[in-house]
Amino acid sequence: MAAKEDLYSKIIPRRFRQNRSIVVKHGSNLEVLLSMGFPKNRAFKALVSTGGRSVQLACDWLFSHVDDPFLDDPLPREYVLYLRPSGPLQNQLSHFWQQSRLICGKNKAHNIFPHITLCKFFMCADSKVEALCGALQSTVSQWRGRFPSLLPLQLYTSANFIGLFIEEQVAETLKKFAADFAVEASSKADVHVEPHKKQLHVTLAYQFPSSHLASLEKLAKGIEAKLGCDWLAVLFSRDIRFANHETVKVMYPYVPQNDDELDLVPGDFVFTSPLEQLSTSEGWVFGTSMGTGLSGMLPENYVSRADECDTWVFHASHSFFSASPSEKSNKENKTLDGLLNFPCLDNSRSGESTIMSVVCQSMQVLRVTRVSPERTLFVCRHGERMDVVFGKHWLSQCSDAKGRYVRSNLNMPPFLPAWAGGHRDYDMDAPITVVGATQARTVGEALLESNTTVDFVYCSPSLRCVQTAHEMLRGMQQDGKLRIRVEPGLFEWTKWLSGSSLPAWIPTTDLAAANLSVDTTYRPRIPVSKLNVSESYDTYMTRSYKVTKDILAECKNKGNNVLIVGHASSLEACTRQLQGLPLHNSKEFVQVVRKIPYLGLCACEEQDTGVWQLVAPPVCPLTHGPNHSFSWRDSLQQE
């Protein structure tokens, strides 16, 4: 911290050091930043990255990015020009967005707010952005009185796309406006803008499962496309480095335990690339913080998936029917942004309680209308793991001089199972925390209270899965009565292993000696010798499907309910093909897996027709917020 303060003192004049709340009375935002001593390239970058809204926001951005290795990188941002609806049509589209997301889940269209694309993404130097915004304002002013008062929209659907297309003659008029903007932008900002040449349209849904087509089409037909609308010309930008990355939002704080880990602040966004995750272990991802520009490893259960446009920067918005957007239009934009989680001028999240209410009502409908099942397969992820909470090198924090395990935190288990492999092998096979055990026991107790019975329990050979299954049985008051069948075929996708070999799992005899309820006589369907490191995605999914079918066949006519305790990937891998659904591609699969929290539970029922179908689980979900590390000495004895 001291080093940062020294750096601040060098770049901030003395009159600004006493109070970082800055009041601008004279000069442009750029002039004020330059007068404060910031280099011009950094001042431009800070203003562009915050939409040029204020000196205060620009200063805050610079302070938070003081260690950003790309702070002085001249790489420009990417820009795009859209038409955004406002007014009655906006409300209709808002309703469609909410309902389609609730009924069918998120599809690719939800990544960006409703819009008409007028040009391809283009680059603009930071020093030219003000001129670019002026070019847009000038072009819109020239088109007032010429812009169509009504854009005729026609619904179009196909197997994986639904949209509202503009009548061709009117579309040509819009393309002429885009061409005029391209000329103006080239003249004033020295940028190359390529107007959109394809059919102009508002995308409603695309890249969705074919089973959702009928529901989405029905919703789309309810949109009154002829309603009034004030189309606004809006300019957004994004960081070109992360154009093909996934965006996640930080939900909980995380203090790094190791040098290669990222400091997480709730509300920040992190850019992650699916390609960079293939070599990381389960539970960890590699990403770059939007708030600081720093990169590192982070625990995936501390973040949730965000929309692509959540990190876009808004630069300008102009109406074709008034000199400036009306107060009403701005208010409507903010309301839509809040309801749909789309950022523009405001990051409000109003309306979420209404959405959650509808979700709960839909869940109740599922419970009432389900068909009487023949059998039920429960698949559950393991509990909170030690290496996620205490870092990848957690074992060094709880080992004495002789290498023996010593508990150094209340969330660490009092002891670890003793086995021939020694404690160092826990680096590849981490146990669950005390909180993880409590999570598992809580879910088991909830299953007991719901009168849910389990006849067979199978789990991955990972210690965290065995311990989770054991604690769930304790919660169900079945420990000692049911025995856990340890099945190597249920292990996660080996592509995610950080090492070049499989973990040295604890033998079932040693697990039983540690008082874990395992079946030492069980013969695995897929032995460890059949697992290969860095298996392909198709191989992993085929393995998971095969072992699940074998388990169900083995238990048929011997009991109704089977519980599998595995990894975050298990919920998808063990149930999707069982339902006769086509596989996601590997990228889509990774996104599904990221949504599975600790003790995430799904239920798949075999109907009297022989068809398996996912249904609402018999227990509520379990949400747990992490507790950051606390040192009374460091916090309370500061001088």
Q: Annotated binding site, which residues? A: 464
Tell me, yes or no, if 53 is annotated catalytic: no
Catalytic residue, chosen from 375, 382, 470, 483, is 382
Q: What distance in Å separates the CA atoms of residue 588 and residue 591, rounded to the nearest whole number? A: 5
Instruction: Compute the distance between CA of residue 225 and CA of residue 296 in angstroms, rounded to an integer.
Output: 46
312: left (phi over 0), alpha (psi -120 to 50) or beta: beta
**Among residues 115, 381, 470, 543, which one is catalytic?**
381
Q: Report the candidate in 116, 267, 137 with the shortest Cα–Cα distance to residue 196.
A: 116
Helix axes 40-49, 129-143, angle to 10 degrees: 40
Ordered alpha helix ranges (H), 26-146: 29-35, 40-49, 55-64, 88-104, 129-143
629/593 Cα distance (integer angstroms): 27
Beta-carbon count within 10 A of 596 CB: 21
Q: Spell 476-497 as b/e; 16+ CB within 10 A means b.
A: bebbeebbbbbbbbbbbbbbbb
Annotated binding site for substrate: 464
| DSSP notation for 116-137 | EE-B--EEE-GGGHHHHHHHHH
Alpha-carbon distance values, 499 to 112, 126, 280, 360, 494 (Å): 38, 43, 9, 42, 10
184 within 8 A of 135, measured Cβ to Cβ: yes
Tokens of 294: 């720093």
**Closest C-alpha to 12, from 78, 75, 59, 73:** 59
Dist. CA 445–CA 464, nearest whole Å: 19
Catalytically annotated residue among 77, 315, 525, 567:
567
- Catalytic residue at 245? no
Q: Is 567 a catalytic residue?
A: yes
In the chain, what are the helix, strand and coil shares in percent, each to the nearest 5? 40, 20, 40
Chain centroid offset of residue 531 CA: 30
Q: Are 272 and 284 in contact (CB under 8 A)?
A: no
Residue in this structure with the two tokens 């070049």, named with its chain if needed: 500
- The catalytic residues are 381-382, 567
